[in-house]
Structure 1
Amino acid sequence: MKTLQFIAVSFCFLAIVGCKNEPKKETIKSEKVAEKAKTYAEISIAEGGKWIDGTRGHEEYDGGTSFKNVTNLRVPDKHTDHTWYIRYEGPGWESNKVGYRLYLDWRNAIDIFGKKTDSMVLSKVGQDGFDSYHEPEAWGQDILKVGSGLGVGSIGRLVNDKMFHFKEVDSTFASIENGAKQSSITIDYHGWKTADDKIDLKSTLSIQPDSRITKHTIIPSKEINGIVTGVIDHKVAYFAKESDNKKWGYIATYGIQTLVPDNLGMAVFYKTDDASEVKKGEFDYLVEFKPTTKPIEFYFLGAWEQEPNGIKTQEEFLKYLDDKLLELNNNNKF
């Protein structure tokens, strides 16, 4: 009888241990899949805490015990910069070349994660401390200081030389998609108010394997002037050029402009028919788009000298840009 009881207890113990171990196995498996992929996108929110009145004049998410990835998010109305709610402050996307993140708050700027590895790393970034990614790690680090600018390839609106970010928005929704050929993020802004206009704006950012380039597609709900993208001005070399067929152009910067500090090249490729003007703003080099409700497609990139087999000189960077411009000239897309 004692033998039977021992067997029964042992069986129950093994069953319980087995059940506890199953989620761990699934987690390990999903991480391995992400590491083998060549693109990845995510948005991750804190859980286990609560919203409190913070020290910065707005509410903050306090006491979070972990982060949870979600495929769809309605951004809380109380969310703003430094609320500690969204891991690294917004969605991130990467290829085996480079990573990016979007500040999903009033700033709406795009930052760059420089990578020293071709593995997918974003699922681990910021897990060991909210700002830890600003420090050098084996995988790389956040390399771009955005400040009051657009970063690279994000959206703003310029009215009478004043830059409007996304300070007044009724609601914001984000969704994530990871596929075999690309990873993408879609942001739907409802009721974006700038000056005397209020519109909806859909923004889709996608990246493909073996590429530094993000494709950015925006769709405004109303024809308004002044919608811009651009590259932040860090007082380094600036370049602008059009393709032979005059259908595409780029604006770009290159030089020591990272937090390391070391060399970084940034560029925006745009269709010349979509642009009303290329100009210098207070903090950025800008491409201003013509008023439309049709999709506007453009591309942007960051090229860091420390990435594996990275571009290390201005001459290499300009050659790379010219090759990409020729590709657009011939194929009208990447």
Structure 2
Amino acid sequence: MNQLEQLKQHTTVVADTGNFLQLAQFAPRDATTNPSLILKAVQQPEYAPLLGEVVRAYPGLSMDEVVDRVLVRFGLEILKFVPGRVSTEVDARLSFDRDATLARARRLMALYEAAGVGRDRVLIKIAATWEGIQAAAELEREGIHCNLTLLFAFCQAVACGESGITLISPFVGRIYDWFKKSAGAAWVEADNAGANDPGVKSVARIYRHFKQHGLQTEVMGASFRNVGQIQALAGCDLLTISPDLLAQLQSLSAPLPRALSAAGIDSPRVQFNEAAFRYALNEDAMATEKLAEGIRLFAADAVKLEALIEAQR
């Protein structure tokens, strides 16, 4: 049994890609997308015609409406290959606008429902800003399930868990990147690998806190740089993994035991109002920087996607 098959015994495996033609070989339960992944996909020859087809079908719509239809079209294709859910992301440029996030999320869900897809098969991805979390909490009350992304800080995770969000995606690799860059020449890879990886430690802390306090929000580790990070989080509720790393796991046959459990934890329950949340996030330099950077990068790729669409109008 290869390590991907072993991992599936401990954790729900999710494919992190817009490349839906790759999905069958890995048999994930769910799939996640983001603006960068969709941009990457539509620039490949096998997916470019799909973009053109959507653009030509809706010549009179505004740019943001066409973008949403492109995102949903990819989501619909992905759902043909996975039995579970697809995550589709709200424009990152709305990350600090609660009302605009609500409007876009409702529109995305309406497009899925118009195509015959139920709410149980879609997660709306929203950046885990204070405004994003408040919007997601409202959507959850309406029966629209959410995946809070760009999550780097413990306060972000707790705010989501206490708000009844369906799922969170704490980023492992980007946390690792920040600490490695910050340490510079003092970084020793062997001392920061596996369970000692700073990104792994962040997800493990969140997972254990949620389990101790009965928070029902699913924890899905994301943004991996190597298979060691994945192996160290075997047992997490879900892990969303790129096709390259899924293929690496398929090629490995060594035993892969459950690494993450809720045993032996003692984490006091905490809650955050807006002021406490903003202060806690501000105190975490890594999370503050990576959240801001992540929003900028996703926003930049959204602009590039719009340029590709405009070129085909």
TM-score, normalising length from structure 1? 0.23
Q: More strand per residue: 1 or 2? A: 1
TM-score, normalising length from structure 2? 0.24
Q: Which has the larger radius of gyration?
A: 1
Instruction: Select the structure with the greater relative contact order (CA < 8 A; seq sep ≥ 6).
Output: 2
